[in-house]
């Protein structure tokens, strides 16, 4: 097989970001090679539930090669060929894997859209792609018949399963008499291999154009980075990663789950499949592993066959990593690669590095009690966990070999050409930009999206991740939140990840979201808290819950070197620290008496005065006011706004000093999340919801 004419993983001979001359390459060529070298090894294992028992069916590499060849011949006979865009809506299973490899072999480009986004949004995506063919299950074809307009240009329809009341052949009809030999199309490395739609979690879903060379680079980078060996057994909970695993020579075990709703996964079935098939590698979203980890810990279950767990799609809670480490063997690890549909992977960090010793994390204050000017000043020797609890954001590790990362000045404007004057110094916040052999160059048919997300640099392309972050003194990348989610106030800019992770440490908090209400530049920061099940505060609990959240903020920003940064701590302790820093403490028996404030500039980095009338027993905070159905949930308490004065959060270019007129704290029963990973919080919806609550 011919690959790039320059190495995609060796940065010493020449810059790997330089575009290699296009050469013959088809990502499907991995399959016949593996079928020849390990023909009898299982390639795909599909789990089915029969009653309370899981049963398994399998295809060997030789059988998968033959199946994909029959599919390719049958689809070619139906008129599908090179450069055709083919919408593929098939459930994970033998047909899905066989069809994707068949389309690659034909030189056609499968178009994949997450059905979990809903029919209307899915149809909007289809309208943006000039489709030639549609291969889908009966339910997908039923939608097509009932809503035909987006499919007007489609010439070929193939049904996977039983055909109902529409025409066109079924996949079985096309493949039953087809030859099991096929000559793979001689595609170029820069030829379109697939169009993969983003989840649309931070805007309209967009079709990302992948080339054969990009897929090949991804396979090689992932295999090299994590030491994955042919013959391993993988359990991918995201279907697309199943294709990478097959190309690496791993057996894939397709779990019995709905991949469009990972948060609903049955952890018992995931654990059973791992144990039954002796799985060594697995990939999934935080929503999956949150459930599986808790299930294993509660029952004392160990997973000794697993060598590595890859978790991506959203920041991974520290508690989940800790739980997983307790069920893995001592030499296994959890890895959290960072990236996006447009570029994956960018960087990675191991669970061991995240959970490493953070006891000696320096305080974010200098010797005079003044906040340091740049984040990097406090992180050179910091433990990752402790730094996160000080408001540093989420560490996503070091870039993979072959991936270049730059951080540029934060702007929403398009940037046509990359230049050195755009780049910010290490330790300062900027937008993360990446380039490399696995970084995509364009969206399909969306020149405006290209203008805002791509930067040209000679004959190469930088992709703007749309994420804010910084690089620390050790060369690690830190993620601080989406650029579109930043909260711009009169006093400065707040980034979500740096704030939210502090409050997520509260034992009754499941997760929280920071949003801005009001016009940019004058926004009110709003912290929306989702308590854990059974911990939603009643009216009498609201005040103490808010105090405990403030204690966490105080601890994160004002802890002396060596002091606990994990909170929550008692109100008395907070007042003690406030007084020690020159703060005044009023009579705690009075409503709203907790006052935290410096008596002189620089004496204390954070102070907050809660307005007691908002939550005191004497206030008009009645059950009637708290109830009413939430537009995002099915009833129950919809939120409590708690105005605060003088709240300081660790933000801006380093740490933000000053005070905000108001921070509102709202409680919400269930934060809305994205459809693909069920883990990314939909802050756009929450911002609109918060605006209504604060009117």
C-alpha 241/C-alpha 232 separation (Å) is: 14
**What are the tens digits of pLDDT across the range 118-150?**
899 999 999 999 999 999 999 999 999 999 999
The pLDDT assigned to 658 comes to 31
C-beta separation of 273 from 288 below 8 A: no
Element spanning 281, H or E: strand 281-284
Tell me the domain boundaries of the chain: 29-41+63-187, 233-336, 343-481, 500-693
Please say whether the beta carbons of 283 and 64 come within 8 A: no
Q: In angstroms, rounded to a whole number, what is the distance separating the alpha carbons of residues 576 and 585?
A: 9
Q: Give residue 23's pLDDT.
A: 85
Q: Which residue has the tokens 């989420």?
A: 394
For residue 280, the Cα-to-chain-centroid distance in whole angstroms is 23
- Report strand pairing: 487-489 vs 477-482: unpaired
Are 29-41+63-187 and 233-336 in the same CATH fold?
Answer: yes
Position 20 scores a pLDDT of 44
Distance from C-alpha of 693 to C-alpha of 631, rounded to nearest angstrom: 11
SS3 231: coil
Sequence-distant (≥ 6) Cβ neighbours of residue 57 within 8 angstroms: 45, 46, 48, 94
What are the pLDDT digits (tens) for 49-73? Answer: 877 778 999 999 999 999 999 999 9
What letter would DSSP give residue 315? P
User: Could you count the other beta carbons within 10 Å of the beta carbon of residue 199?
Assistant: 18
Rounded CA gap, 671 and 682, in Å?
Answer: 8
- Please identify every stretch of the chain with a pLDDT value under 70, giving residue numbers as ranges: 1-22, 357-382, 555-662
Burial label for 612, CB within 10 Å (0-12, 13-18, 19+), is middle
34: phi then psi, degrees, rounded to nearest 5:
-70, -35
CATH architecture of the domain formed by 343-481: Roll (2.30)
Give the domain 233-336 fold.
Rossmann fold (3.40.50)
Does residue 568 have a cis peptide bond before it, meaning omega lies within 30 degrees of 0? yes
Do the beta carbons of residue 331 and residue 339 sit within 8 Å? Answer: no
Decide if 304 contacts 296 (C-beta within 8 A): no
Helix or strand or coil: residue 487?
Answer: strand
CA dist., res. 364 & res. 380, Å (int): 12
Nearest residue to 482 (alpha-carbon basis) of 649, 684, 344 = 684
Contact 674, 282 (CB under 8 A): no
CATH (one of 3.40.50.300, 3.40.50.980, 1.10.10.60, 3.40.605.10) for 29-41+63-187: 3.40.50.980
Please give the pLDDT value at position 260: 81
Token pair of 256, please? 């019995």
pLDDT of residue 22: 61
């Amino acid at each position: 097989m011919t690959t790039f004419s320059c190495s995609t993983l060796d940065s010493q001979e020449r810059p790997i970001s330089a575009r290699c001359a296009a050469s013959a390459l088809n990502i499907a060529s991995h399959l016949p090679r593996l079928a020849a070298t390990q023909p009898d090894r299982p390639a795909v294992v599909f789990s089915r539930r029969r009653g309370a028992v899981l049963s398994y069916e399998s295809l060997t590499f030789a059988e998968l090669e033959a199946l994909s060849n029959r599919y390719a011949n049958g689809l070619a006979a139906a008129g599908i060929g090179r450069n055709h865009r083919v919408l593929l809506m098939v459930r994970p299973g033998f047909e899905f894997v066989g069809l994707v490899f068949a389309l690659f072999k034909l030189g056609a480009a499968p178009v994949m859209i997450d059905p979990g986004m809903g029919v209307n949004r899915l149809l909007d995506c289809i309208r943006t792609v000039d489709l030639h063919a549609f291969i889908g299950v009966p339910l997908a074809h039923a939608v097509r018949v009932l809503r035909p307009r987006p499919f007007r240009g489609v010439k070929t329809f193939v049904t996977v399963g039983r055909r109902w009341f529409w025409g066109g052949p079924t996949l079985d009809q096309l493949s039953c008499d087809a030859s099991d030999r096929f000559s793979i199309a001689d595609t170029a490395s820069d030829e379109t291999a697939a169009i993969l739609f983003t989840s649309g979690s931070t805007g309209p879903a967009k079709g990302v154009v992948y080339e054969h060379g990009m897929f090949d680079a991804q396979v090689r980078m992932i295999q090299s980075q994590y030491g994955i060996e042919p013959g391993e057994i993988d359990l991918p909970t995201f279907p697309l990663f199943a294709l990478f695993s097959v190309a690496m020579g791993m057996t894939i075990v397709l779990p019995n789950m709905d991949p469009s709703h990972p948060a609903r996964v049955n952890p018992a079935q995931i654990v059973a499949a791992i144990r039954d098939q002796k799985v060594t590698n697995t990939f999934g979203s935080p929503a999956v592993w949150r459930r599986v980890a808790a299930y294993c810990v509660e029952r004392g279950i160990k997973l000794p066959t697993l060598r590595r767990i890859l978790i991506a799609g959203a920041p991974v809670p520290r508690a989940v990593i800790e739980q997983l480490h307790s069920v893995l063997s001592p030499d296994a690890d959890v890895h959290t690669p960072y990236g996006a549909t447009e570029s994956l992977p960018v960087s990675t960090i191991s669970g061991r590095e995240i959970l490493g010793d953070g006891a000696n994390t320096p305080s974010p204050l200098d010797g005079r009690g003044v906040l340091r000017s740049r984040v990097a000043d406090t992180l050179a020797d910091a433990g990752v966990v402790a730094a996160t609890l000080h408001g540093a954001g989420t560490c996503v590790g070091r870039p993979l070999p072959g991936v270049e990362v730059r951080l540029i000045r934060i702007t929403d404007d398009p940037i046509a050409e990359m230049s050195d004057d755009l780049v910010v110094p290490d330790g300062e916040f900027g937008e993360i930009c990446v380039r490399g052999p696995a970084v995509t160059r364009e969206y399909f048919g969306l020149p405006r999206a290209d203008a805002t997300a791509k930067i040209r640099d000679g004959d190469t392309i930088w992709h703007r991740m749309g994420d804010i972050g910084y690089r620390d003194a050790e060369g690690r990348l830190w993620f601080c939140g989406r650029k579109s989610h930043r909260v711009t106030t009169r006093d400065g800019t707040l980034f979500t990840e740096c704030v939210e992770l502090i409050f997520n440490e509260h034992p009754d908090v499941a997760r929280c979201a920071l949003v801005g209400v009001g016009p940019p530049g004058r926004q009110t920061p709003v912290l929306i808290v989702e308590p854990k099940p059974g911990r939603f505060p009643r009216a009498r609990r609201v005040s103490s819950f808010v105090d405990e959240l403030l204690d966490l903020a105080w601890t994160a920003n004002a802890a002396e070197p060596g002091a606990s940064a994990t909170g929550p701590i008692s109100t008395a302790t907070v007042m003690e620290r406030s007084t020690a820093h020159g703060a005044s403490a009023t009579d705690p028996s009075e409503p709203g008496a907790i006052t935290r404030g410096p008596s002189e500039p620089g004496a204390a980095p954070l102070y907050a005065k809660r307005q007691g009338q908002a939550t005191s027993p004497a206030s008009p905070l009645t059950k009637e006011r708290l109830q009413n159905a939430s537009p995002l949930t099915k009833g129950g308490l919809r939120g409590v706004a708690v105005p605060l004065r003088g709240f300081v959060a660790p933000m801006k270019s380093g740490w933000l000093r000053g005070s905000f007129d108001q921070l509102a704290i709202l409680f919400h029963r269930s934060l809305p999340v994205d459809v693909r990973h069920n883990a990314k919080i939909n802050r756009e919806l929450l911002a609109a919801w918060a605006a209504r609550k604060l009117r």
